[in-house]
Structure 1
Amino acid sequence: MPEWIHIIYRGVLFLILLFLMTKLLGKKQISQLSFFEYISGITIGSIAAEVIMGLDNNIWHGIIGVAIFAVIPFFVEILSLHNKKIRDVVEGKGTVLIKDGKLLEDNLKKEKYTTDEILQLLRGKDVFQVNEVEYAVLEADGKLSVLLKKDNRPLTRKDIDLPSINEKEPHTIIMDGEMIDDKLASAGKNRAWLKQELDKQNVTIENVFLGQVDSSGQLTLDLYDDKIQVPKPQEKPLLLANMKKCQADLELFALATDSEKAKRLYAANARKLQESMDVLSPHLKG
């Protein structure tokens, strides 16, 4: 039998063998390696390569051996895209490790994870108590996905019935001291506006490392000199402060006047201004 057929046979055999060994070692093998596991993986790969390609000094035999490890995974990937069963075998499935605040010991043993290792992964998610977790899944790539119980999740605007704020991605209009005109246009701004904003902060464009316009149209700057502190935009906080002052003045006028008609007018407009502030405050707080 020709030597190149031997190489193909050994390549396919060892590719399957290495795949099965990796599956046997579990997801931890691809997510986090100890020094011993790292050395073992290198050694296994080196031994397999030597067995496959160490037949003689024929360069083409080496090319065939390397091609096997490229072509077969490529076709397996194509098949897994169209077949879930193949995808589950090749890529693996998520494993539930915590449910309703309780560790599932059988699943931990199946994935060869110790309690200390799971606690370490949870701490990486800023979770320090298992009973705070509603659901935790060890994904196929070895990462841990965590869903906290509702009482332990961060408070959201929806939880306290505040109106939602839809934010768009920021536009980077200055990079490395250079203006990016197309991004400036995408943000709905022009050069005159940018010059005016830079003048307000007493900054020249050559000193700006990064400049971005947020979804509300405010310019934030990062200068080359990290020791220089760029003041935060104050237009919105100032507007909110002026609205509060006007609302307080209207309430004072309502208390001070003897005219019932004027009192009602002042009080009504104070309420309207307060309602406007309730809606706009989330957008205007700096």
Structure 2
Amino acid sequence: MPDWLEVALRTFFSVVFLFLLTKLLGKRQVTQLSMFEYITGITIGSLAAYISLDLNSHWSLGMVSLVVWVLVSLGIEILQMKSKTARDWLDTKSTVLIKDGKILEDNLKKERMTTDDLLAQLRKKSVFKMADVEFAIMEPSGDVNILLKRDNQPITPAHLGIKVGPEQEPQAVIMDGKIMNEPLATLGYSRDWLLTELEKTGVAIENVFLGQVDMYGQLYVDLFDDQIMVPAPQALAALLAQLKKCEADIELFAISTKDPKVKKMYTQCSEQLVETIVALRPYLIQ
């Protein structure tokens, strides 16, 4: 067999074999790596290159070495799942960098971080003032997570005492000009409904690169032609305007009537409608 063909075949089988072994190890090997996972990744890559190019050695020996490395890595991952002591020793513990708004200089030195490094990590979290940070911790992966001081945290509906329903993820119902039936059925809509919504925007389905429907039933589309602007859906805004118009009409009826009972009824209806509009407003304004 010619050398070039042997190298090509070895490389091909190495790639396939390495892919299967990586699938066995799971997603952790391709995300943030611990120190041992980093070493494992380098070693497995070196072994794969050795199998591909070293024609003087039998390729099966490299495969055996790969299998041993993967089994060791798999065993260590199982050990980490069952033992916190093993996790702390292999992955190291998290390190607190800022506590009660104070930078812990000794911990910075322990992690070999400079002040510039710390500030850079804070900027990655969109924090440009150290004084805004209440707590910061470095994870074993090297990421720095922060907790802002209470007066610098963004306001949420919970802070205002407002209860909101669960948010459902939008579904991609059109991809590359083709209707995706399963996501559409998940939302409870039909193909006819989707085609009707497309007609409202004046867009043909074959021109749609991506179409998404949110939990409120609004369709958002992106076209292949980036020069064409598609207007944003106005169904929710129109509903809000209609509710306000109804409120104004009821108030007008209450002012116009001279019957006290009817006036009281209209007033109560108007108040109830105002409460409904206030409750629905966060959902109607996107």
State the TM-score bracket (shorter-chain normalisation): 0.7 to 0.9
1:158 corresponds in structure 2 to 158
Q: Contact 1:80–1:87 at 8 Å: present in 2 too?
A: yes
Corresponding residue of 1:192: 192
Larger deviation: 134-143 or 71-80?
A: 71-80
Percentage of identical aligned residues: 46
**1:144 alignment counterpart:** 144
Matches within 5 A, 1:7-26: none
Amino acid in structure 2 at the alignment position of 1:122? L
Partner of 2:30: none
Whole-Å separation in 1 of the counterparts to 2:84 and 2:116: 33
Letter in 2 for 1:118: L
Q: What's the CA shift for 1:87?
A: 1.4
Secondary structure of the 2:134 match is strand
- Write the deviation string for residues 135-172 of structure 1: whole angstroms up to 9, x where unpaired: 11100000011111111111101111223132112121
Q: SS state of the match for residue 159, structure 2?
A: helix
| Displacement of 1:61 | 10
What's 2:16 paired with? none
User: Using the alignment, how far apart are the partners of 1:112 and 1:183 within structure 2?
Assistant: 48
Amino acid at match of 1:183: P
Task: Please name the residue that 1:243 is paired with.
Answer: 243
Establish whether residue 84 from structure 1 lines up as the match of residue 56 from structure 2: no
Distance 1:250 1:148, change over 3 A: same
What CA distance in whole angstroms lies between the structure 2 residues aligned with 1:228 and 1:222?
Answer: 9
CA displacement at 1:66 relative to structure 2: 5.8
Task: Note the C-alpha offset of 1:62.
Answer: 7.1
> Any idea what the Cα deviations from partners look like across 1:36-92, whole Å, max 9, x if unmatched?
xxxxx9xx98xx99xxxxxxx645797366666544333322322222111111111
AA of the residue aligned to 1:107: N
Q: Which runs of 5+ in 2 are unaligned?
A: 1-32, 48-55
Q: Which amino acid in structure 2 is aligned with residue 260 of structure 1?
A: P
Query: For residue 220 of structure 2, what is the amino acid of its counterpart?
Result: T
Structure with bigger RCO (C-alpha 8 Å, 6+ apart): 1
Pick closer, same or farther for the CA change 1:225–1:91 going to 2, 3 Å.
Answer: same
CA distance in 2, matches of 1:260, 1:76: 80
Q: Distance in 2 between matches of 1:193 and 1:61?
A: 58
- 3-state SS, counterpart of residue 156 of structure 1: coil
**Residue type of the alignment partner of 2:259:** S
2:182 is aligned to 182
Kindly state the Cα deviation for residue 191 of structure 1 after the two structures are TM-superposed: 1.3
With over 3 angstroms needed to count, the CA separation of the structure-2 counterparts of 1:69 and 1:182, relative to structure 1, is: closer
CA RMSD in angstroms, aligned pairs only: 2.8
User: Are residues 145 and 270 of structure 1, via their aligned partners in 2, closer, same or farther at CA, if it must alter by over 3 Å?
Assistant: same
Residue 102 of structure 1 contacts residue 130 of structure 1 at CA under 8 Å; is this kept in 2? Answer: no
1:126 corresponding residue in structure 2: 126
Please give the residue correspondences for 1:202-281 in structure 2 after superposition, counting only pairs within 5 Å: 202-281=202-281
Inter-partner Cα distance in structure 2 for 1:184 and 1:131 = 48
Q: Which ranges in structure 1 are unaligned for 5 or more consecutive residues?
A: 1-29, 32-40, 50-56
Give distance in 1, aligned partners of 2:59 and 2:174: 52
Counterpart of 2:216 in structure 1: which amino acid? Answer: S
Matches within 5 A, 1:12-91: 58-59=57-58, 63=62, 69-91=69-91
Aligned length: 241
- Provide the C-alpha distance between the structure 2 equivalents of 1:180 and 1:66, rounded to a whole number of angstroms: 41
Deviations 1:5-62 (A, max 9, x none): xxxxxxxxxxxxxxxxxxxxxxxxx79xxxxxxxxx9xx98xx99xxxxxxx645797
Deviation readout 1:105-150 (Å, 9 max, x if unpaired)? 1100100000110011001101112221121110000001111111
1:173 Cα deviation (Å)?
1.1
Compute the TM-score of the two structures, normalised by the length of structure 1. Answer: 0.76
Rate the CA distance shift 1:174–1:65 in 2: closer, same or farther, 3 A.
closer
CA 66–181 in structure 1, closer or farther in 2 if over 3 Å, else same: closer
Secondary structure at 1:158's aligned position in 2? coil
Report what 2:22 is aligned to.
none
Larger mean Cα displacement after TM superposition, 258-267 or 82-91: 258-267
CA distance in 1, matches of 2:74, 2:184: 42
For the 8 Å contact 1:96–1:138, the answer to whether it is kept is yes
